[in-house]
Structure 1
Amino acid sequence: MKAYLVGGAVRDTLLNLPVRERDWVVLGETPEAMLQKGFTKVGKDFPVFLHPETKDEYALARTERKTTHGYKGFAVCATPDVSLAEDLLRRDLTINAMAMLDNGEIIDPYGGQEDLKNRVFRHISPAFCEDPVRVLRIARFCARYQHLGFHIAPETQKLMQNMVKQGEIDHLVPDRVWAETTKALSEQSPSAYFQALRDCSALARIFPEIDALFGVPQTAIYHPEIDTGIHTLMVLDQAALLSNKTTIRFAALTHDLGKALTPVTNWPSHHGHETLGLSALTALCTRLRVPNNYQKLAQQVMQYHTHSHRAFELKASTLCATLVSLNAFKADNHLNDFLLACEADAKGRLGFENSAYPQAHYILAAQKAGADIDSSTVLSGNLQGKEIGIAINRLRTAEISKIKAQFTKN
């Protein structure tokens, strides 16, 4: 069986990066022959098989022909006479269209090694524009490889812009958009994903709520970067430095959506943006079918991030109420995640990148004090219903007041 290592495994090997997965292309075989060799068929739309031992993916060499809009609108030909060069030609970028033999020899018919050397994302053929997912993939590669100095070739950038203008990008399905987005959020430079989409005008079509933030001014004394869109991407990258959780990064990305909805006459002030943006967040999450755990944390961060920033100024009763709203006194709370997103917001400002965020320590201490109260006297008394909750909150507030005194004194 003629099998060649292809795609990302070859690319990352040449970049001296860890190989995340190993994909192979097989020449001269049929699906029946692969099954007889012990492979397991897994591809629904394409002839893809799992190796019986390594579980690597082995795909029969194939060509594709566009039949209709969208990334599934292709007719596939996977006959034994399809050549390696023909299979590689159907791929998106030159750096993803190389194959490797067992002895390390590279088969590179489309100049992938040269583009890899020059840190260029370049499409292989005009067929690139037939699949809208490729716009997302290039943007995701920007998030993964920005630190290595990669950039999009001008002719590829123009092709991406034309795909947006001609409406091909509008045929992306929500599940695929979210799948690519979560991958991008997990990369080293997630802001590069959204910047790449904005550069080709796709951000306004896919994430209009985020695109609307660019050009919205903020008060310079608090936000020297001024532009809310720029601030948002700075916050996202700060979140990436603080945590590898994509839920936190998504919350950081969406925390200021309300600033695009504040009246222009109020700019650069954005009073009430914390609640004003909730409808936009819901619309985004509904449209892209964002999982509930992402949406829940994003809602908390959006609604209460300014409470976190002003924690030392809050009354003990207000802080207690905020912690209750954040479900911070429940065992399955996500207070740490909330605080990391808030810290990213505080640091995602020009000149504030290395600032401390003592509010997090204070809020965690307040949460612990409130959680450690002895509520036995309340529960064993004659109080009922809401009265029990009020009494417990009174006890929590008293303990939080002590913590506040300690922190403000120091």
Structure 2
Amino acid sequence: MREARNVRIIVGVLSGIAIGAAAIGTIGLALAAALSVLLARRFVTPPGRAESGLRVLAVGESTIVLSGSVESRAPGRFSLWFADETGHARIGAVISQSAKWVARELLTVTPGPPVAGDNARTSGWFYLSPADLGLDFADVVIDTELGPAPAWLVPAAQPHSTWAIHVHGRGVQRPETLRALSEFYDAGVTSLSVSYRNDTEAPDSADRRYGLGTTEYRDVDSAITFARAAGAKRIVLMGWSMGGATVLQTLMRSANRDMIIGLVLDSPVVAWGPTIEMHGTINHIPTRIQHAAQTVLGSEQAQLLVGIANPVDLSAMNFIERAAELDRPILLMHSTHDAYVPVEPSRMLADLRPDIVTYEEFDTAGHTRLWNYDSERWLGAIRAWLSIHVGDVAADEPVGDVG
């Protein structure tokens, strides 16, 4: 009875937004309704463990052979999780390959070793802790409205009042952000790498659903409050993927907005509509149903249909439409080969706001894997941007020991 009621509600929503006679005639209204809800739910539901679709075929002293795929052939340096993610290795350049296998450099293994037959997957994470970068750090706790959220605090060698807050993307955790920390450290900036609601480290929200940045920003705002209490006066926000959407929301809505001096964005969601449409197209979902999914997310029935506590206003997160409202310098980096978040909105934002956006477009690299593909260029872009927009932090007023 409940399922039938839900279908009737979905049909009513879709009828009200005019899904279109052609789509209804081809697919059927009930199926169209179900597809739109499934697509909407996919974006707000935290995913489970990532699929380990690779297979370890052979292991040498400094070489590992993996089953051949787009993932295993990607150029660059990556983490490799193996044996149901009980083991972790770092892999480097492709040495040789055939249609069925790929041999790569095996850089480190902890613990290990992998053995032939292990399942495996690659990850853009390369470091698992600030200690892997040789950086001193402290485990700290941010008091959010939902409870304590863990964070890594990496003080600059001579702590001053400029801090950076690093925000990971959807379905991952803090290690995603580590690739940038050395550059901020070298610039004299203290870093805070944070967790946020529903990421398996921070407390869950009551609905256990993502707000796509509209709720997560509150936890980032709590991190800014933490930094302010420790003596920070200027904040740079760095966001990855959905973390990009989150820091953009933080800029617009934070009670500490006055402290934010700039944003660094890696593979960011600057508008959710094109991202939802990309995934709809990948899954062969008709355009009208892609649009219907967006409407479902913003509808009064969103709580019942997709489980979110409140509707998600996608227009409030469309920074193509809101480009004129942005008023802080932004370093924006994206790849033309990003298969998760389309590059076009980033290009459009850069074109609309060349006065504040420094845009670095990469090719070949996958989603949030720009560092992995070309770390020298990626780190150089951050270094140059910090030198211009953060400047000499030694001129800042020193603060006490934040470690």
TM range (shorter): under 0.3
* Largest Rg, 1 or 2: 1
Relative to the length of structure 2, the TM-score reads: 0.26
Task: Judging by fraction of residues, say which structure has more helix.
Answer: 1
